[in-house]
Structures are given as structure tokens and as C-alpha cells.
Amino acid sequence: MFAVLKLGCLIVYTLALASLAGLLPAGVGGTIQNVALVLLALHALELVLMFRHVRLYRGPLVVSVLLTLLFGLLHWKPLADAAARSTPPRGGPSA
């Protein structure tokens, strides 16, 4: 499911770039550019708010930042889920 959503993000970005190159009609191109801009703005906000999860990526941090800007929670959420599974729960009833 994440792969399909990531593909959707890439399609929006590709269409926005195509519209900037003049390959799409003006009415459609402007709308797609706005959608891509909103996606990038939301993902930038996610980057700031969820940076602790973005840092968990095993590769270079700059790659994780780029992937978060492109895909948002589709990138950092699996990292957060994996970290939550690998750490034991805190607190809990004392025996």
C-alpha cells in the first residue's frame, strides 16, 4: 500500500515538473503545481515535527530528509514503527 502511495507522490511531482516545462495545459498545470507545493509544504512540516523518527534511518541523514520531503509519513512512519517494536515498553505494573 505504501508503494502505491509513494508512486502517487512521484506522479504528482513529475506532472508538476512537466507543467513547468510547458508540457501540460495551463489550467491543469497550475492545479498540479499547487498540489505538489502543498504536498512539499506538509512534508516539510512533518520533517520538523517528526525529526526524531527521520533520524532513525540507517543511511545518511540527508537522504532521510530528502525522502521525508518527497514522501512524508510514508518514509518516517515505518521507521517509527520499527523503533517502537524494538524497544521494550516503559513503565508497567510492578510485581
- Tens of pLDDT, residues 63-95: 999 999 999 999 999 999 999 998 876 665 655
pLDDT tens figures, 23-46: 999 889 999 999 999 999 999 999
> Cα–Cα distance between 37 and 20 in angstroms, integer?
13
pLDDT of the residue at 94: 56
Give the count of alpha carbons within 13 A of 29, CB side only: 10
Between vectors from CA 49 to CA 48 and to CA 54, what angle results, nearest 5°? 75
pLDDT at 88: 74
Predicted TM-score of the model (pTM): 0.84
Helix (H) or strand (E) holding 76: helix 73-86
User: Grid coordinates representing 8?
Assistant: 502517487
Q: For residues 55 and 72, give the distance between their C-alpha atoms in angstroms, rounded to a whole number.
A: 13
Alpha-carbon distance of 93 to 86, in angstroms, equals 20
